[in-house]
């Protein structure tokens, strides 16, 4: 799914319960995450949930995989990865994920700890692309 399609899907959902269910569905569609990748090096600090992100570069494009022990956080990871996978470092650095997060209508409905976790995941991805 493209970022534009994802944004459109979220904007069509009028209530938080539908957005919440959609986030969980997105998280269920993430690629399998090998247990061997659940290491301290791949763990994202600053999240209440257990969160891991792996990173690889092909040519000048970055690709990430992620998982969490929280269904809603996996959904947030799916949103984040939709926007960053396959981009160059420069393209990723130009993204304003917080603004995207707000436009999707997620900002006002998630707890502060989940918002902070989303920012921690975003910061981790940005740091991996320098």
Question: How far apart (Å, rounded) are the C-alpha atoms in residues 46 and 118?
Answer: 9
Which residue in 44, 47, 87, 92 is the catalytic one?
47
Question: How far apart (Å, rounded) are the C-alpha atoms in residues 99 and 1?
Answer: 20
Question: How far apart (Å, rounded) are the C-alpha atoms in residues 123 and 84?
Answer: 12
Question: How far apart (Å, rounded) are the C-alpha atoms in residues 111 and 117?
Answer: 10
Active site residue 83: no
Which positions are annotated as active-site residues?
A: 47
């Amino acid at each position: 799914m493209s970022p534009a399609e994802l944004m459109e899907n979220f904007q069509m959902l009028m209530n938080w319960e539908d957005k919440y269910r959609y986030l969980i569905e997105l998280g269920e569609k993430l690629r399998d995450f090998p247990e061997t990748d659940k290491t301290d090096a791949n763990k994202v600090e600053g999240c209440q949930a257990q969160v891991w992100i792996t990173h690889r570069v092909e040519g000048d494009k970055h690709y990430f995989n992620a998982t969490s022990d929280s269904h809603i956080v996996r959904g947030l990871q799916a949103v984040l990865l939709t926007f960053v996978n396959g981009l160059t470092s420069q393209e990723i650095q130009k993204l304003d994920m917080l603004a995207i997060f707000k436009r999707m209508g997620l900002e006002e409905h998630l707890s502060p700890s989940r918002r902070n976790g989303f920012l921690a995941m975003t910061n981790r991805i940005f740091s991996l692309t320098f």
